[in-house]
Amino acid sequence: MSYADEITAALRAIAAARPDLTAQAGEHHFQHLSVVLAKLQERLREQLQAATQTEIGGVIATLDAGADPTPTQLDLIRLWVVGDAEHYVRLEGDYRTWLAELDRLVGELSQVQGATLTVADLTRVAAWARDAQRVLADIEYFKQEEARVQRFEQAAKGLTADDKRTLANILRQKLASDRT
């Protein structure tokens, strides 16, 4: 089955799972969707790499020669190295909501500091802490991806000979991983 066929199959499976994603859904519904989404992400990456492998070969040759990549080549490098992160950061719409929710939860936790906690309080505080960890994980992932894009943009401004060799090797490894 081709990458395109596998992408289509994954998208169909996601669409078919949608009616089951309700408040009454069982854990298995969400676990199944997680597996399908992971496979979709992998196949999308592989399809992207397959569709641009000829061009990336030229980029690798340019970098191996020690030459500066053209703006078009730099766009392709960006696509291969941080394209997913760049689009995620640009499209993510919940970041500010996550910050507000984290602030609310930290506020709740702050209000109980120094208080004598009953058994009921302990479970409520534990729930706030767990929810804060979940929201914090989303915020941390966003910030990591944002920093990843910023590091790439900074590094791409002044590629040294060593940077070019390293980048060529990274691209070569990514190209090889698509073929295995």
Give the per-residue pLDDT at 161: 94
Q: Are residues 81 and 44 both part of a single domain?
A: no
Categorize the per-residue pLDDT at 20 as very low, low, confident or very high, splitting at 50, 70 and 90: confident
Q: Are residues 87 and 154 both part of a single domain?
A: yes
Q: Is 17 exposed, middle or buried (0-12, 13-18, 19+ CB in 10 A)?
A: middle
Q: Angle at the Cα of 118 (from 116 to 119), degrees rounded to 5?
A: 145
Cα 110 from Cα 115, distance rounded (Å): 10
Q: Domain range for residue 13? A: 1-51
Tell me the pTM: 0.83
CB 127 within 8 Å of CB 119: no
Q: Is residue 5 part of a domain?
A: yes
Q: Indicate if the pLDDT at residue 145 is higher than 90.
A: yes
Q: Indicate if the pLDDT at residue 148 is higher than 90.
A: yes
Categorize the per-residue pLDDT at 178 as very low, low, confident or very high, splitting at 50, 70 and 90: low
Q: Is residue 56 part of a domain?
A: no
Give the per-residue pLDDT at 176: 86
pLDDT tens track for 31-64: 999 999 999 999 999 999 999 999 999 999 999 9
Q: Is 171 exposed, middle or buried (0-12, 13-18, 19+ CB in 10 A)?
A: buried
Categorize the per-residue pLDDT at 179 as very low, low, confident or very high, splitting at 50, 70 and 90: low
Cα 13 from Cα 43, distance rounded (Å): 14
Domains in the chain: how many in total?
2
Give the per-residue pLDDT at 118: 94
